[in-house]
Amino acid sequence: MFRVLFVPTGLSTGGAERQLAQLLAHLHGTKLEAAVVSLGPRGAVSGQIEALGVPVWHLGLSYNPLNLPYAAARLAMIARRFRPHVIQGWMYHGNLAASLVGRVLGRPVIWGVRQSLYDLAREKPLTRQVIRLLARWSQSPAAIVYNAHLARAQHEHFGFAQERGCVIGNAFDGRQYRPDPQARRSVRAELGISQDAPLIGLIARYHPMKGHDIFLSAAQHLAVRRPDVHFLLAGRDVTPAHPLFAPHGRSGPLAGRLHLLGERADIPRLTAALDIASSSSSWGEAFSNALAEALLCGVPVVATDVGDARIIVGDAGIVVPPGDARALASGWQALLDRGPEARQAMGWAGRERLLAQHSVEAVAQAYVQLYERIQDR
C-alpha cells in the first residue's frame, strides 16, 4: 500500500491540525497507509488521529533552529522504519523538517502551507526565519499545496516557487456540521437566555490575528442598538479570566450578554445554535474553517476580508474590511434586519455550495491523485 509520512508542526486544537485529522480519517487504511510525526508535544488532536489507527510520534521540541537537526535525525530513524513513498509537511516548521529528512532519505517531499502571508513582520521571529528559508528552498519540494488561493499568491509574491504550487482547499464533513434545531434550543438553555434571543458567535482560539478586540468593539456598538442580542465566543483562552474579556463581562453594554465558553469539544453544536457566525481576523487566515463550518450548519456569516473569506462566503453573508469594528457591527445589523427566514435561506445556500466544492471525499481524492503523480515521476 502507498505510504505517506505526515510531519505537522504540532497537533493542538487549531484549524490546520483538525484538517489533518479530517483528511486522515478518509485516507488511512483505504487509499494509503499513513503515519504522523509531530514536532511538538502531544496535543488535543493526537488522540483523534491515533483513534484512526494511525501511528503518531511526538518529538516534543521547542521551535529553536538548533533543534531541527535533532528533529531530522529522529524523523529519519522513524521514516526508515516506516519507509514512506512520500513525506508530507504540514505548516511551516513541519515543511522545513520534512525537507531535511527527505534529503537524507531521498524521498519526495510535499509542503502543506496552511495560512496566508500578509506581513512577515507580524510573524514570530523564528517563524520569519523559517519562512525565509522555505522561500529559498522552494524549488526542492515536489509540490507546495496551499489551502487557499490568496495564500498561494502571497507566498509566491514573497518568493516561493510558482511552478511548484497548487491549491487544494480544506475538507468538511456535512454529517458532522449540519443544521440542528435542537442545538439552538439546548445552547440557549445552557446560556440561560431566551429561545428567541439572536445569538452572534465567534469560534476561534485567542490570538491577536483573530481580532477578538475588534469583535468586542463591534459587539458594544451593536449591543447599544439591540439589547436583545447575545454574543457567544469559544476557543482556547477565550475565558472570563482573560484580561481582554474580563472588563466586558463585568460592566458596560455587554454585561450579561457576553458568553465566554473557552475551549469546547462540542463546536458543531455551538455553531449550529448561532443566528450569525463571524470572523474578525485581521491577518493570517488562509481558508477559515470556522466560516465554512458555520455555512455547513446553515448559519450565514459576517467576516472580515482576510484570506479566501470572499470565496467562502459568496452570497451567504457579508464581507467587511478587516480592523473596522463599525463595519462588522453594521454587517451583523444588516443580517438581523433581513429576518430569520432570509438568513436561513442564505445559510442553506452556503451549505449546498460548500458541500459541492469542499466535501472531504473530494479533497481526500485530490491528495491521493497528487501523491500518485509525484510517485509516478
* Residue indicated by cell numbers 444588516: 334
Sequence-separated (6 or more) residues with CB below 8 Å from residue 296: 172, 174, 177, 178, 351, 354, 355
- Report, in angstroms and rounded to the nearest whole number, the Rg of the chain calculated over CA atoms: 21
What is the rounded CA–CA span in Å between residue 55 and residue 173? 23
Sheet holding 258-260, edge to edge: 258-260, 230-234, 199-203, 276-279, 301-304, 317-320
For 13, the grid coordinates are 486544537
Residue at 16: amino acid letter? A
Sequence-separated (6 or more) residues with CB below 8 Å from residue 180: 268, 269, 272, 273, 297
Residue at 87: amino acid letter? I
pLDDT of residue 15: 85
Domain 3-171+359-376 and domain 181-357, same fold? Reply is yes
pTM of the model: 0.81
Beta strand segments in 135-181, E: 143-146, 165-167
CATH fold of 3-171+359-376 reads Rossmann fold (3.40.50)
Which CATH code fits 181-357? 3.40.50.2000
In the chain, alpha helices (H): 15-27, 46-50, 68-82, 92-105, 125-137, 149-158, 181-191, 212-225, 246-250, 267-272, 289-296, 309-313, 325-338, 340-358, 360-376
pLDDT of residue 65: 57
Q: Which residues of the chain have pLDDT under 50?
A: none
* Residue indicated by cell numbers 459568496: 314
Residue 277: strand pairing partners: 201, 301
What is the rounded CA–CA span in Å between residue 285 and residue 15? 10
Residue 353: strand pairing partners: none
Q: For 112, phi and psi rounded to 5 degrees?
A: -120, 110
Q: Which long-range contacts (CB under 8 A, 24 or more apart) does 264-270 make?
A: 264/234, 267/203, 267/234, 267/293, 268/176, 268/177, 268/178, 268/180, 268/183, 268/293, 268/297, 269/180, 269/183, 269/186, 269/187, 270/183, 270/187, 270/201, 270/203, 270/232, 270/234
Sign of the CA dihedral running 210, 211, 212, 216: negative
The answer to whether residues 319 and 300 touch, using CB atoms and an 8 Å cutoff, is no
The answer to whether residues 206 and 240 touch, using CB atoms and an 8 Å cutoff, is no
Residue 58: strand pairing partners: 38
pLDDT of residue 63: 55
Task: Sketch the domain layout of the chain as residue ranges.
Answer: 3-171+359-376, 181-357
State the CB neighbour count (10 A cutoff) for residue 377. 6
Give the residue among 160, 136, 152, 282 at the shortest CA–CA distance from 211: 282
* Residue indicated by cell numbers 454587517: 331
3-class DSSP state of 118: coil
The answer to whether residues 360 and 26 touch, using CB atoms and an 8 Å cutoff, is yes
What is the rounded CA–CA span in Å between residue 222 and residue 236? 25
* Residue indicated by cell numbers 442580542: 229
